[in-house]
Amino acid sequence: MNPSPTSCYVPVAALATEQSRLRLVKAVIAFTEGTALYPESYERQLLDQFVRGQLTIDEVAHYLEQPNPTGLPAALAA
């Protein structure tokens, strides 16, 4: 039986490299494929910024909590 995503702990040090962040994001996307939780375009943009190290996971969560997102903040748009 696979552990649920909420029961897994990922140490911050494990997310220190772009490769490790990419691996995590790919796993999350694969896990949510075909469900209502699959990330939409805006959410994928934020995850991409996280993978590249331009946002922390806390910043991603902050932007996801904002009502009616219209796009990435201008300072973060690549």
pLDDT of residue 66: 84
The residue extents of the domains of the chain are 16-64
pLDDT of residue 39: 93
Tokens encoding 54: 């331009």
Q: What is d(CA 4, CA 1) in angstroms, rounded to the nearest whole number?
A: 9
Whether the CA torsion 14, 34, 38, 1 is positive or negative: it is negative
Residue 33's identity, in one-letter code, is E
The answer to whether the beta carbons of residues 64 and 43 sit under 8 Å apart is: yes
pLDDT of residue 1: 45
Name residues whose C-beta falls within 8 Å of residue 39's C-beta, 6 or more positions apart in sequence: 28, 29, 32, 47
* pLDDT level of residue 67 (50, 70, 90 thresholds): confident
Tens-digit pLDDT profile for residues 1-31: 455 555 555 565 667 899 999 999 999 999 9
Average pLDDT of the chain is 80
